[in-house]
């Protein structure tokens, strides 16, 4: 065997290679266990002593050259990328993969989780209810007769073929469900979706989220409601906010109040976010109406309780300075990635 003719053959062979598979065959032909280079080095012991050194060096140089040629060819075949062929399959197992983008929790779910965590620390349990409700649970049980004017405030989607079923317009029907199925003392928060046929704009959506909360026990007072809500509001909006209770009307609470916090943007001085009022409305609340207790079979002489309900989107918008509710539902990643 003559190293020079091998070199010539080598060049012709490498030129002809057009696939990673052919390159692997080439590698085996020259560098394999029974390949040409192995054959050459096998000859060394048969040579006269004084020729062995030189021959060995040339065989080694040939091996180096073959490795270079393989590496070059491989780069050329894999589009200029420096990769390694893995075995006979020709698949390049070292090529970088296509990274999967990790998702994360939606900002509304983050706010729901945060609020629920505050209330669970205060001893509340989390309870959920169905989005399709009965008229009784959504209205009647909550002391809202069907012809009562307050019902206008809860414009409602009714199910077409089941006129007694509707998409709940607030989370308060879960008060009825929980009070019927459990015995006081109760301390419950209810996160969930609610529906109202509102035209969609920057501050309205036909679907949004509420968190309801209520406590029922033998000696619950309005001051308990104030204490719980103040703890909640400071945990969400910071310790330096002020709160105020504004008299209001809800059929299922008496007395009722809307709760405002001092504007977190202008600190109460008056700005465009709070409409120059210095206050932001965050939730509705009150002492549970005795008629609600009567509807669920709880004795209003023995038990009292408070309830409150807040809109999650509103809290999230105030907390993060978001000015359009539609952003939550459009799945625009440029928005969602900010949370
Ligand atoms: N359900 C009321 C609403 O949707 C909020 C509320 C809940 C008010 C509980 C008082 C007590 O507007």
Surface-to-core class of residue 266, CB atoms within 10 Å of its CB (0-12 exposed, 13-18 middle, 19+ buried): middle
The total number of residues written for the chain in this structure: 339
251 alpha carbon to ligand 1 midpoint, in Å?
9
H or E element in which residue 295 lies: helix 290-296
* Rounded distance between C-alpha atoms, residue 7 and residue 304, angstroms: 99
Query: Within a 13 Å sphere around the CA of 140, how many CA atoms are in the beta-carbon half?
Result: 9
* Rounded distance between C-alpha atoms, residue 149 and residue 284, angstroms: 18
Q: How far apart are the first and last CA of the chain?
A: 71
* CA distances, 58 to each of 14, 41, 154 (Å): 19, 10, 93
Beta bridge partners of 244: 260
Give nearest CA residue, ligand 1 atom 4: 170
Strands (E), 73-228: 125-126, 132-134, 158-159, 162-167, 186-195, 207-217
Q: Which atom of ligand 1 is nearest to the CA of 169?
A: 4
Q: Identify which of 138, 167, 172 to mutate to test ligand 1's pocket (most ligand atoms within 8 A of the CB).
A: 172
Query: Within a 13 Å sphere around the CA of 205, how many CA atoms are in the beta-carbon half?
Result: 18
Q: Which atom of ligand 1 is nearest to the CA of 170?
A: 4
Output the pLDDT for position 304.
98
Q: Domain 107-336 belongs to what architecture?
A: 2-Layer Sandwich (3.30)
Strands (E), the chain: 125-126, 132-134, 158-159, 162-167, 186-195, 207-217, 243-250, 253-262, 279-288, 304-311
Domain ranges, ordered by start, for the chain? 3-77, 107-336
- 201 DSSP 8-state letter: B
188 alpha carbon to ligand 1 midpoint, in Å?
14
Q: Which of 77, 298, 13, 337 is nearest to 176 (CA)?
A: 298
Q: What is the mean pLDDT of each run of 10 residues along the chain (339 residues)?
A: 81 88 90 90 89 89 90 82 58 83 94 98 98 95 86 81 86 98 97 95 95 98 97 95 96 97 90 89 97 98 98 95 95 94
- Interior CA angle at 247 toward 292 and 286, to 5°? 30
* Rounded distance between C-alpha atoms, residue 209 and residue 254, angstroms: 24
Q: Which atom of ligand 1 is nearest to the CA of 142?
A: 1
Alpha helices in 200-285 (DSSP H): 222-237
170 alpha carbon to ligand 1 midpoint, in Å?
7
| Ligand 1 lined by 327 (C-beta under 6 Å) | no
Sheet of 158-159, strand order? 132-134, 162-167, 158-159
* Rounded distance between C-alpha atoms, residue 21 and residue 9, angstroms: 19
Q: How many CB atoms lie within 10 A of CB 88?
A: 11
Give the pairing type, strands 125-126 and 186-195: parallel
* Rounded distance between C-alpha atoms, residue 28 and residue 26, angstroms: 5
- Interior CA angle at 88 toward 84 and 94, to 5°? 25
- 140 DSSP 8-state letter: G
| Ligand 1 lined by 177 (C-beta under 6 Å) | no
């Amino acid at each position: 065997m003559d190293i020079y003719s091998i070199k010539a053959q080598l060049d012709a062979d490498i030129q002809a290679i057009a696939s990673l598979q052919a390159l692997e065959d080439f590698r085996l032909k020259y560098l394999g266990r029974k390949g040409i280079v192995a054959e050459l080095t096998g000859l060394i012991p048969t040579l006269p002593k004084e020729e062995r050194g030189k021959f060995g060096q040339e065989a080694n140089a040939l091996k180096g050259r073959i490795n270079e040629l393989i590496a070059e060819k491989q780069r050329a075949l894999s589009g200029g990328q420096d990769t390694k062929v893995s075995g006979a399959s020709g698949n390049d197992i070292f090529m970088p993969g296509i990274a999967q983008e990790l998702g994360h929790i939606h900002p509304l779910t983050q706010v729901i989780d945060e609020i629920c965590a505050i209330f669970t620390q205060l001893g509340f349990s989390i309870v959920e209810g169905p989005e399709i409700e009965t008229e009784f649970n959504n209205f009647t049980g909550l002391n809202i007769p069907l012809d009562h004017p307050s019902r206008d405030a809860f414009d409602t989607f009714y199910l077409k073929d089941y006129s007694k079923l509707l998409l709940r317009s607030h989370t308060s029907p879960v008060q009825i469900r929980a009070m019927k199925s459990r015995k006081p003392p109760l301390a419950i928060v209810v996160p969930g979706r609610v529906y109202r046929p509102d035209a969609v704009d920057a501050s309205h959506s036909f679907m949004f989220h509420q968190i309801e909360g209520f406590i029922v026990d033998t000696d619950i007072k309005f001051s308990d409601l104030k204490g719980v809500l103040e703890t909640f509001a400071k945990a969400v909006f910071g310790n330096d906010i002020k709160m105020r209770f504004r008299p209001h009307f809800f059929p299922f609470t008496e007395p009722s109040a809307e709760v405002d916090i001092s504007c977190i943007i202008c600190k109460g001085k008056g700005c465009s976010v709070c409409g120059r009022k210095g206050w932001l409305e965050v939730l509705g609340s009150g002492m549970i109406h005795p008629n609600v207790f009567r509807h669920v079979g709880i004795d209003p002489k023995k038990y009292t309780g408070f309830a409150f309900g807040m809109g999650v989107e509103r809290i999230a918008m105030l907390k993060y300075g978001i000015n359009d509710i539609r952003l939550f539902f459009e799945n625009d990643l440029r928005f969602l990635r900010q949370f």
